[in-house]
Structure 1
Amino acid sequence: MQVTENRVNQVPNIFLILITIFGSITLFVQPFFSAPDEGTHFGIAYTIFHDGKSNSEFGRYALPVDVANYRNGSFVSKYVVEKGDFKKNKLEFNLSYKKIQYLPQAVGMLIGEMIYPSFGVIMFFGRLINLILYICGMYFAIKKAKTAQWIMAIVALFPISIQQAASLSYDPFFFVAIFLAFSLVTNLSTKKEPLTVKWYAYIVGSVMMLFLAKSSALAMGLYFMTLPMVLFGNNYFTQTIDKIWKLCDKYIKTVILLGILVFLLFLRYEFRDYGGLLKGSQILLNTFTRADIQQNLDSLLTSGIIGNFGWLNYRLPEWLVIIDFIFLTIMAISEKHVDIKKRMIVTGGIIYFLNIILVSLVMYFEWTRGRLKMLDNLFVEGNQGRYYTPFLICLAPIGLILQKYIKIEISESNKKIMYIGFSVFNFIYFIVLTLLYYYTNDGGVNFLPHMGDLIKGIN
């Protein structure tokens, strides 16, 4: 019992210490406007507390990162010292449900504007509040989870996760919504008695957060369909659902075939005006299986799940990404066993796959064909691995099944050492790459020779 209690306590506490250190460093090192589309996020968040007529005029604040200003050191005067025209904007509350995910950073930006109206100060406080939301939400989710705590802590501390947490993106809200939903489901799946009002409130709150996040987050709702019916009492409805699940277990092959059929019908419907099922399927296959056609498959999608940084300018090398995925798999298989329904484990895999498909469809229709007008494109343009990062925790319970076939026993103390070691190495790599890319004249291409010349000059 003592071992279990120590395990439950140490994982979230270690995460809390590391994310606080890593996030704080990133706040100061990561250049302003350097996270993907951060200028756009700045403009949207700014509209929440300001009147810009239709709010469209605040698009002038959606600046791109100016790498040259960081390489020559002029970024301090441009972003921090130089005041903007923010004080001219009228204060007005313009919050809608579509902007709720921007509310934390908007509050921070308003505080920053009141302190000193420069881009740098406003962005810093917006990022700070966003980071605090991320730290608190992820810590709570990890602490309350009944399984996969190590996996949750690893994913939450991936370099790409840290970059987004310390930015003005809505990703921190998105990540927290996914993690809290998963944590709640791990609790509900292990309960043996009917739910109280408190738990129903948790479910409603979690679903609302998923709704307010990206549309693909709603895939997490499938988890709630797999919950044990004992949670909802013994009545005709719950008895019927139990019978349906028993039939599914009995005729599993038929259920799988029906699932595939439903998926194909879904694709046929989505691509009904764009070439039909076969062409739609080919587009998805080209996107995820043909690196010769979708040349960003390895760099943006695969590496991007763990670390493709800035405006996709620099990233972790493939060898490190592979090692990280291996580490993630080992930790999942060595996770403490918890008895949960097999349907929850299977559903987790479906959710991860479904999220990829839903994101791809949105990017194809709205970005590839809509914004870019690439009407003849036979692959999806614009996908990024970070869209899939938080959903990695849904694959963690699969490790419970693999435990029957692969025996990996790692003590909690060794897991702690491995977790800290991998996280620190990944973070240092991320920070060094950031410093080299943004703060050296040539992007760090001749870093060692320049260091040698500097040392010789000192001598």
Structure 2
Amino acid sequence: MGKKINIENKISQHFLVLSLIISVVFSLAFPIFSGKDEQYHFDATSKLVGIKVDRKQIDPSSFGTIVTFNTRNNLGIKGYVDKYYLTKLDKVEKVNDERAENATLFDLRQYIVPAVGLFVGHHIYPSLGVMETFARLFNAIFYSIVMYVVIKKMRHGKLIMFATALSPTMIIQSVGASYDNINFLVTAVLLGFGIDLIFSKEKISTKRVIQLIVILMTALFFGKRNIYVTLLFAIPILMSMLIETYKLKIFYLKFTKRKELLIILLTAMLSIVILFRDKPFIIHLRQIFSTLTGNFISIGTFIRRGDYLATGMLVGTQEWDYLPVWMYGLWMILLFMLIFSESKKGISNYISVFSISLFFMNLLAMLWLYANSAADNPENVLNPNHYIIGPQGRYFTPLMPVMIFFNELIPISVINTEGDQKFIARLTYGFVGFSALFLLFKTIQSFWWLGIQGGI
């Protein structure tokens, strides 16, 4: 038992070391404005701390565009460094992006961590590259520390949270300067708290209820609309505490596939009601059906890569550093092993099915929101341009830990001995490290090596 506890304790320690290394390396390695929204994120971050600089003084690109490789490569490495890292930016009265300029400081609250980094970077050297790099560093280090605490506090599901947090999709988000970072963190805190409480079969208590309320209020304050479905995880958390407190054995009765499907459908309806209150219910149902039929290819893209075939769960990256399909396959194998490496706790099937259904409801909600918001006509969701594009796996990957509940529904186990546990842990460490190195290699190959070829 002592050795098992030691293995569990080391998971969080290994995460912190690996995550901090990744934070520093990738914050420096990723090229400036390599993501489509980074110009907006930079302007929003700079406005929050009152450091408004003329970004277009050296970078005329606008929101939604990536500075082309030809532009960078023609500069060569020396020219790139001179332009982005050594050129001081002038202060201006307004930031370049109008959306960021028109936003209130409250609207920009999700940028508070990278804003601190940008503030420090500006006082070190007021260039675009230095400010952006420090914003990334602060965001990534904050991510590492919070996730370390989450994993350390968990008594169950440590490895699946470890792997999810350091998947290529989340690495890219953690070393960026966007609000997606804090979105994942509030999701991880809720999932880590809930999974641990449910699997430990804790009874209801004032302390736990207050903690849950604080987590939910924090998520509502800092999170964006795209994580609202995740907040429904509070329902199985409360169900579990009530079941254990009042010994509600009815929730442990075996039920048919029809009842499982009914729970999923009820969860879907609840998600729709919460997310889509602005239009009649029947219109939303029709639009969702159109999205699924017209954009069905989007659901099948978890093993694909390309321009519009890139939902990219777990391995979703930018357009310039796609990981190969076989890497996705390896991640799925690891995920399967992690799901069924936990000891079974006899969790209520109702709780397990409800929790798992949240992942699919979140997927459905994101597909619909993207298709609907991208359309000129809100009811026209069949245009091919409304597919989810780019590294949108950031919206689905954070909920991967709920897949651990499959372990309670399916009689499969990949761990029988302490040696098996050690093997799974070491395999996870090794593969996550290899995956990060491969992503770094693709980054160097896609940008820096081409830059060297363009001339030092």
In the alignment, does 2:130 pair up with 1:124?
A: no
Distance, in Å, in 1 between the alignment partners of 2:144 and 2:298 is 37
Q: Is the 8 A contact 1:329 1:399 kept in 2?
A: no
Given the superposition, is the C-alpha separation of residues 61 and 121 from structure 1 closer, same or farther in structure 2, using an over 3 Å criterion?
farther
Q: Secondary structure at the match of 2:388?
A: coil
Return the offset for 1:178.
Answer: 1.1
Among 426, 429, 450, the alignment partner of 1:420 is 429
In the alignment, which residue of structure 2 is the partner of 1:195?
205
Given the superposition, is the C-alpha separation of residues 229 and 400 from structure 1 closer, same or farther in structure 2, using an over 3 Å criterion?
closer
Q: Secondary structure at the match of 1:334?
A: coil
**Which has the higher Rg, Structure 1 or Structure 2?**
1
In the alignment, does 2:158 pair up with 1:149?
A: yes
Q: Is the 8 A contact 1:223 1:344 kept in 2?
A: no
Return the offset for 1:351.
Answer: 1.0
Given the superposition, is the C-alpha separation of residues 289 and 264 from structure 1 closer, same or farther in structure 2, using an over 3 Å criterion?
farther
Among 67, 79, 84, the alignment partner of 2:84 is 79
Distance, in Å, in 1 between the alignment partners of 2:404 and 2:376 is 35
Q: Is the 8 A contact 2:344 2:408 kept in 1?
A: yes
Over residues 240-291 of structure 1, what are the superposed CA-to-partner deviations in whole Å (9 max), with x where a residue is unaligned? x959x74997687357447537847959988869977456414213323478
In the alignment, which residue of structure 2 is the partner of 1:31?
31
In the alignment, does 2:324 pair up with 1:317?
A: yes
Among 96, 108, 112, the alignment partner of 1:99 is 108
Return the offset for 1:323.
Answer: 1.5
Distance, in Å, in 1 between the alignment partners of 2:351 and 2:215 is 17
Distance, in Å, in 2 between the alignment partners of 1:141 and 1:379 is 38
Return the offset for 1:201.
Answer: 3.6
Q: Is the 8 A contact 1:368 1:382 kept in 2?
A: no
Normalised to the residue count of structure 2, the TM-score between the two structures is 0.81
Among 64, 67, 72, the alignment partner of 1:65 is 67
Q: Is the 8 A contact 1:138 1:176 kept in 2?
A: yes
Distance, in Å, in 1 between the alignment partners of 2:393 and 2:370 is 13
In the alignment, does 2:285 pair up with 1:283?
A: no
In the alignment, does 2:193 pair up with 1:184?
A: yes
In the alignment, which residue of structure 2 is the partner of 1:305?
313
Q: Secondary structure at the match of 2:35?
A: coil
Given the superposition, is the C-alpha separation of residues 303 and 324 from structure 1 closer, same or farther in structure 2, using an over 3 Å criterion?
farther
Distance, in Å, in 1 between the alignment partners of 2:242 and 2:7 is 30
Over residues 166-200 of structure 1, what are the superposed CA-to-partner deviations in whole Å (9 max), with x where a residue is unaligned? 11111211111111101111233225344244x33
Q: Is the 8 A contact 2:169 2:315 kept in 1?
A: yes
Among 402, 407, 411, the alignment partner of 1:399 is 407
Q: Is the 8 A contact 1:108 1:122 kept in 2?
A: yes
In the alignment, which residue of structure 2 is the partner of 1:171?
180
Q: Secondary structure at the match of 1:98?
A: coil
Return the offset for 1:219.
Answer: 1.7
In the alignment, which residue of structure 2 is the partner of 1:260?
265
Distance, in Å, in 1 between the alignment partners of 2:442 and 2:449 is 11
Q: Is the 8 A contact 1:34 1:65 kept in 2?
A: yes
Return the offset for 1:147.
Answer: 1.6
Over residues 276-315 of structure 1, what are the superposed CA-to-partner deviations in whole Å (9 max), with x where a residue is unaligned? 74564142133234789x89965466662133333x2331
Task: Name which structure has the greater RCO, CA cutoff 8 Å, separation 6+.
Answer: 2
Structure 1 segments (4+ residues) deviating >6 Å: 87-90, 247-252, 267-271, 273-276, 294-297
Distance, in Å, in 2 between the alignment partners of 1:232 and 1:290 is 39
Among 95, 102, 123, the alignment partner of 1:114 is 123
Q: Is the 8 A contact 2:243 2:251 kept in 1?
A: no
In the alignment, does 2:213 pair up with 1:204?
A: yes
Q: Is the 8 A contact 2:267 2:357 kept in 1?
A: no
Q: CA RMSD in A?
A: 3.9
Deviates more, 1:383-392 or 1:165-174: 383-392
Structure 2 letter corresponding to 1:227: I
Q: Is the 8 A contact 1:303 1:316 kept in 2?
A: no
Aligned length: 428
Given the superposition, is the C-alpha separation of residues 394 and 114 from structure 1 closer, same or farther in structure 2, using an over 3 Å criterion?
same
Q: Is the 8 A contact 1:271 1:277 kept in 2?
A: no
Structure 1 letter corresponding to 2:364: I
Over residues 140-189 of structure 1, what are the superposed CA-to-partner deviations in whole Å (9 max), with x where a residue is unaligned? 11111222111111111112211111111112111111111011112332
In the alignment, does 2:32 pair up with 1:22?
A: no
Q: Is the 8 A contact 1:160 1:386 kept in 2?
A: yes
In the alignment, does 2:224 pair up with 1:214?
A: yes
In the alignment, does 2:339 pair up with 1:332?
A: yes
Structure 1 letter corresponding to 2:387: E
Return the offset for 1:95.
Answer: 6.3
Structure 1 letter corresponding to 2:265: I
In the alignment, which residue of structure 1 is the partner of 2:363?
356
Among 380, 388, 392, the alignment partner of 2:396 is 388
Distance, in Å, in 1 between the alignment partners of 2:348 and 2:393 is 29
Structure 1: tracts of 5 or more residues without a match: 53-58, 448-459
In the alignment, which residue of structure 2 is the partner of 1:454?
none
Q: Is the 8 A contact 2:298 2:387 kept in 1?
A: no
Structure 2 letter corresponding to 1:350: S
Given the superposition, is the C-alpha separation of residues 418 and 61 from structure 1 closer, same or farther in structure 2, using an over 3 Å criterion?
same
Structure 1 letter corresponding to 2:211: Y
Normalised to the residue count of structure 1, the TM-score between the two structures is 0.80
Given the superposition, is the C-alpha separation of residues 377 and 88 from structure 1 closer, same or farther in structure 2, using an over 3 Å criterion?
closer
Distance, in Å, in 1 between the alignment partners of 2:375 and 2:302 is 15
In the alignment, which residue of structure 2 is the partner of 1:344?
351
